[in-house]
Amino acid sequence: MEYRAYNIKSFKKIPQIQKYVSPKDIEDIEIAALVFPFKVNNYVVDKLIDWENYRDDPIFRLVFPHKDMLLPEHYERLKKLKEKGDEAELKKAIYEIRMSLNPHPADQKSNIPEIDGKKLEGSQHKYKETILFFPKQGQTCHAYCSFCFRWPQFTGMNELKFAMKEVDLLIEYIKAHPTITDLIFTGGDPLIMSTKLLRSYVEPILKADIPHLKNIRFGTKTLGFWPYRFTEDSDAEDLLRLFEEIVESGYHLAFMAHFNHPKELQTDEVKEAVKRILKTGAIIRTQAPILKHINDSAEVWARMWKEQVAMNMIPYYMFIARDTGAQHYFGVPLVRAWKIFKEAISQVSGLARTVRGPSMSASPGKVAISGVTEIEGKKVIALTMLQAKNPELVDIPFFAEYDEEAQWITDLKPAFAKKFIFD
């Protein structure tokens, strides 16, 4: 299949846009895309979206920016400036609106590792076992998710970009840190890279043969957005060979596959891609945030986890949408997210109960909502840390005042204590 990408300038050429989408909706996409990144491809358009019902289609919502992702005053301001054709004023407004949307959530910039006084700008080392690596050419995706918390890096706000060219520095750093067992390639999407390029990152790591490094992971949305990467792209076979080489070198190779909705699991293309990846000896674990307008129902999550297990994938994390970008549009309050999680997990067998969450990737670590309960007549939210900068805090229950509106850890107040365990 030939890869055809559409951006905000070219999307009106998509036949389904011309046939189904109203002029008002097209204009609103253009206005929302002034602030949020937009890119879609022919697989998503032709195979995943139900165009007859595009307004409520979860995949349409997943990739096409929506008017309501902007606050009403931002929408009005942009619409007026666009109509006036005042480029300079429009540019200024776009920048100001973006900066008001918390473009650096959860102080990611403070986890940048250093070796011999040199900063590894394209890495993050937050938890002692795992290091994230952002290869320079992997900092884009086959299509963009409208809710993505890394949205600023796709908008040309280049100073916000994480990216690294040098794999040698990374190897030195891992060698010097024996607690690191896991190297996670992320982005963007590292599997946007050609096999040749990906190989140029992976081979030196295999060659370095670092005894404490056990697990190599790829954080990727490619199974959902471009499964041909593993089936009929010209270097698909070589990619599968690379996975085999990683496995044969003695590593656990894990795909951290991002699926937002069971619709993404239904095509013949994705089913074939999953089979081929598993044949190499790699494991596929699945993760996604819970989002209004896309997947905020127990039925959807239960269906998704069941289908993933049937395809031999392992449900891993349910996340809470981060406090950035259009959180007001996509965000599900913590209590409601937990109710959906609980109702979904009660419907699946133990094989799908490997999933954890709903979890917030916050500054102190991954904080999961364990449930709502009553202690001595007081209604509270029980929390635990699944990951913590301070590993001693993992798995200790702690409590917050009950709050049905809270959408992030910073909205919560500690119960039975003056502060949270991580404060």
Number of residues that bind ligand PLP (CB under 6 A): 8
Q: Is residue 127 part of the contact set for ligand PLP (CB under 6 A)?
A: yes
**Site residues for ligand PLP, window 375-404 (CB under 6 A)?**
387
The 10 Å Cβ neighbour count of residue 307 is: 17
- Pick from 40, 132, 240, 270 the residue near ligand PLP by CB under 6 A: 132
Kindly indicate which of the ranges 11-19, 121-129, 302-310, 400-408 contains the residues binding ligand PLP, using the contact rule CB under 6 A. Answer: 121-129
Strand-pair category, 252-258 with 283-290: parallel
Residues near 156 by Cβ (< 8 Å), separated by ≥ 6? none
Gap between the Cα atoms of 144 and 167, Å rounded: 26
Residues 51/56/58/62 CA torsion (nearest 10 deg): 90
Binding mask 350-369 for ligand PLP (x = CB under 6 A): -----------x----x---
**Site residues for ligand PLP, window 319-348 (CB under 6 A)?**
none
Phi, psi of 384, deg, nearest 5 = -145, 165
User: Which residue, 33 or 223, is less far from ligand PLP as judged by CB?
Assistant: 223
Gap between the Cα atoms of 63 and 369, Å rounded: 28
Least distance in angstroms from the C-beta of 215 to ligand PLP: 9
- Pick from 41, 123, 124, 384 the residue near ligand PLP by CB under 6 A: 124
Strand-pair category, 123-127 with 130-133: antiparallel
Taking 3-state DSSP, the helix, strand and coil percentages for the chain, each rounded to the nearest 5, stand at 45, 20, 35
User: Which residue, 130 or 200, is less far from ligand PLP as judged by CB?
Assistant: 130
User: Which residue, 175 or 389, is less far from ligand PLP as judged by CB?
Assistant: 389
Least distance in angstroms from the C-beta of 343 to ligand PLP: 24
Least distance in angstroms from the C-beta of 33 to ligand PLP: 28
- Pick from 42, 102, 130, 181 the residue near ligand PLP by CB under 6 A: 130
H or E element, residue 275:
helix 268-279
Gap between the Cα atoms of 14 and 8, Å rounded: 11
User: Which residue, 107 or 299, is less far from ligand PLP as judged by CB?
Assistant: 107
Q: Residues interacting with ligand PLP, by CB under 6 A?
A: 124, 126-127, 130, 132, 361, 366, 387
